[in-house]
């Protein structure tokens, strides 16, 4: 059952199917980042689902979201064994790192996740997203910086995460009253893509 290919294999005979888990603190934009990924899938003509999970707090609690992108209709939208795990804080790392499927890929904000990855059966990409955000006047954009890294490592394989699709997705996700923020988001994604 397990696929051995690298990040986001696309093509071949097997239908495309990826389960993505994004996790961090509430307020970091975990749900928003998931929404952008979901829209990328939608714009690429895939079946998609986005399912948030968070506590009653507005900020500071833990938040995670399940994103499924697939050629086939999506059964359970809840991701319990992610192919791709985007991790934005320490508690989420501890909670979910063992659930990633063997051969899966993990994206880590190493500013906030200080733990070492002991697993050898997953590909790990770490960048100091929160530190980069602070240094580059992109406060609150560490989610997009980490997503930029994700897009970079995935774009070779599929058009779904090309900058063009990503821009289209951002236009769908950013409310019409805040369109000026699209540019900042793109700047953050470009920064992540360079890392």
Partner 1 sequence: MAGCKSFFGYPITPQTEISAYMAKRMPKEGGVFLQAESEIAAVNMVLGAAAAGVRTMTSSSSPGISLKSEGISYIAGSDLPCVIINVQRGGPGLGGIQPSQADYWQATRALGHGDFHVLVYAPASVQEMVDLVIEAFDRADEYRMPAMLLADGMLGQMMEPVTFPEVKKNVPDKPWATNGHQGKRDHNVANSLFLSPGDLHSKVVRRFEKYKEIEQKLPKAETYKTEDADIIVTAYGAAARIARSAVNMARKEGIKAGLIRPVTLYPFPKEIIRKHTENAKEILCVEMSMGQMVEDVRLSVECKKPVRFYGKTGGLIPEPAEVFEQIKRIEKRIGGAY
Per CB under 8 A, residues contacting partner 1 are: 35, 38, 42, 47-53, 56, 74-78, 80
Q: In whole angstroms, what is the distance from residue 74 CA to residue 47 CA? A: 7
Q: Minimal distance in Å, beta carbon 68 to partner 1?
A: 9
Q: Which one, 76 or 136, has the nearer CB to partner 1?
A: 76
The least distance separating partner 1 from the CB of residue 46, rounded to whole angstroms, comes to 9
SS (H, E, C) 56-84: CCCCCCEEEEEEEEECCCCCCCCCCCCCE
* 17 vs 195 by CB, closer to partner 1: 17
What is the Cα–Cα distance from 28 to 108, expressed in whole angstroms? 14
The CB-of-1 to partner 1 minimum distance in angstroms stands at 8
- Min CB(176)–partner 1 separation in Å: 12
Query: Among residues 48 and 160, whose Cβ is nearest to partner 1?
Result: 48
Q: What is the rounded distance in angstroms from the CA atom of residue 185 to the CA atom of residue 5?
A: 30
For residue 109, what are its two tokens?
A: 């904000």
Smaller CB distance to partner 1: residue 44 or 112?
A: 44
Q: State the minimum distance, in angstroms, from the CB of residue 100 to partner 1.
A: 15
β-strands 84-87, 62-70 pairing? unpaired
Considering the complex, state which of residue 50 and residue 107 has its C-beta at the smaller distance from partner 1. 50
**Contacts with 16 (C-beta within 8 Å, 6 or more apart), sequence order:** 10, 46, 69, 70, 71
Lookup result for tokens 């319990």: 80
Q: If phi over 0 gives left and psi between -120 and 50 gives alpha, with beta otherwise, what is residue 108?
A: beta
């Amino acid at each position: 059952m397990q696929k051995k290919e690298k990040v986001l294999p696309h093509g071949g005979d097997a239908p495309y199917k990826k389960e993505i888990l994004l996790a961090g603190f509430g307020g970091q934009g975990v749900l928003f980042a998931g929404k952008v990924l979901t829209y990328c899938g939608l714009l690429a003509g895939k079946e998609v689902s986005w399912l948030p999970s968070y506590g009653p707090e507005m900020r500071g609690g833990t938040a995670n979201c399940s994103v499924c992108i697939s050629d086939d209709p999506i059964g359970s939208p809840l991701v319990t064994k992610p192919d791709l795990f985007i991790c934005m804080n320490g508690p989420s790392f501890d909670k979910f790192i063992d659930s990633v499927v063997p051969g899966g890929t993990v994206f880590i904000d190493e500013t906030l996740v200080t733990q070492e990855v002991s697993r050898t059966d997953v590909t790990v990409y770490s960048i100091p997203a929160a530190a980069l955000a602070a240094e580059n006047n992109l406060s609150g954009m560490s989610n997009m910086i980490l997503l930029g890294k994700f897009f970079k490592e995935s774009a070779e394989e599929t058009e779904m995460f090309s900058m063009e699709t990503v821009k289209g997705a951002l236009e769908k996700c950013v409310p019409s009253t805040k369109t000026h923020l699209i540019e900042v988001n793109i700047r953050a994604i470009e920064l992540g893509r360079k890392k």
